[in-house]
Chains A and B, each alone.
Chain A
């Protein structure tokens, strides 16, 4: 049996209304609640369920982020991950760099599966899993809503635009999670105490031998989106139909 690697990204909580800083240099993060990226929580839950069925020996939670991302890794440990590794970076890394870091860790830990969120709700890129699979030269099963392991293979149902696709992949491989894969468990107080004793190691890109790209994609500025203004209120269905007619829609 081999381990499962899970990505845990520290992001602004999904319930926060994100605002752009007046100088356009980023978004407001002071005093803002931070959480595990929701898709990563689903990834961790899936890995835990596989381990609980004795189909994996260990779940390793990995975060690439600032020192504070240790908080999210502690939460992952409290959920049930066996150990955690923080790859500490000062600046956010591009998905390609994140994939290179994961490739390095895959070679080190030899997992049967890497489960990542289909996207992080901060940069909304949705790339790291596919890029890791490419660099690793292994299968990818993105947008998973069902994952069944069968020895050296996995059968994955994927949420795609047309409906649901099912594919079969040889392991090891990369799976990225969609919303309906599972419902992550709640953490109980004793688990938080237990998590404090679990190993949480910190490393760096330099220690792993991964360099940031010399020719990366640069973010130049942040703008607030154009806002839609409030329209008119009508009082019943007949007025609504009339309003649609007036706009030439009906």
Chain B
């Protein structure tokens, strides 16, 4: 029997959708008992959400004032202490939160870490992308030692159905460092659908040519109830904020609909959208590589097509 511990990601009292996807991954580990660990200063609300997920044995709530911000240096010794309780697997999401934390925990536990698990072949054998998803490798972790991994959340559906796991308040013996301190956060788009979990994403590239023009995208996104994304070129040019970047070194997403507007489709960008259900591409260059992967392609001028699309979609939802 395997025993898995999933590290919950949460923000402002709400559980991040990545947690339910990690849970789905954990549920493919064969015969397995799954606990969720939630570290927080005040985590009751998020813990209640975690307890309502299906197939969870226990939610371990570790509250300490120092856990108010998810600082890897502060959280890692606590997670390592929890993991030492006979867990065979320790999973976190492949988000900036999980990618920051989990390698630190693995090193404290003296084991390697598997990044971006996209499929579980057995409890110790996993598939993961390398070279910007131009190759998929099968890796094997040593049996008899804890497996520490991050889960590529675009590869898993959130665990569905309800549950009613008990919430246990726990404490661990861990000396927490004071050498790392949170200062501030700026989140520019907190009012919009979350890029990583949105069902629809409208994404813009360098062809938008200015931050001002990027507003066209926001209007179309509003009409669709979509999140907004961007190519690296658009972010580097200052047209869009860094947290909107989709691709190998940005966010890996799997929406139902991905609309690539004025994005040529560099390999590094395509890595981020491979699992989208439907890809729509609009580009004035009919040779753009994005058309090789698009389900629906349209060659033409963005500045005419995008407002027209918005008008048609609004007219449709009004009728």
Contact = CB atoms under 8 A, between A and B. Distances in A.
Nearest to A136: B107
Given A161-B95, A162-B11, A218-B139, A231 B72 contact: no
Contact of B180 (A27, A121, A169, A244): A169
Interface string B285-319: 00000011111111110000100110011001000
Given A27-B131, A124-B131, A223-B138, A179 B236 contact: yes
Nearest to A234: B298
B296 A18 contact: no
Given A121-B131, A225-B129, A240-B309, A234 B183 contact: no
Contacts of A234: 296-298
A220 B138 contact: yes
Given A140-B72, A168-B181, A240 B134 contact: no
A142 B100 contact: yes
Interface size of B as a range: 35 or more
B139 A217 contact: yes
A164 interface: yes
Nearest to A135: B107
Nearest to B180: A139
Interface stretch (B82-90, B164-172, B184-192): B184-192
Contact of B293 (A17, A124, A230): A230
Interface string B228-254: 000010011000011100001101000
B132 A215 contact: no
**Among the interface residues B73, B140, B185, which one has the most CB atoms of the partner chain A within 10 A?**
B73
A99 interface: yes
Contact of B297 (A143, A166, A232, A236): A232
A207 to B, nearest CB: 23
Nearest to A141: B180
Contacts of B291: 230, 233
Interface in A204-226: 213, 215-225
A232 B296 contact: yes
A233 B297 contact: yes
B296 to A, nearest CB: 5
Contacts, number: 260
B106 interface: yes
Contacts of A1: none
Contacts of A165: 182, 184-185
| Secondary structure dominating the interface of A | mixed
Interface of A: 12, 14, 17-20, 27, 39, 94-96, 99, 118-119, 121-135, 137-143, 145, 155, 158-170, 173, 178-180, 213, 215-225, 228, 230-241, 243-245, 247, 249-250
A240 B96 contact: no
Contact of A228 (B106, B293, B297): B293
Given A142-B100, A168-B181, A249-B257, A222 B135 contact: yes
B130 A168 contact: no
Nearest to A129: B103
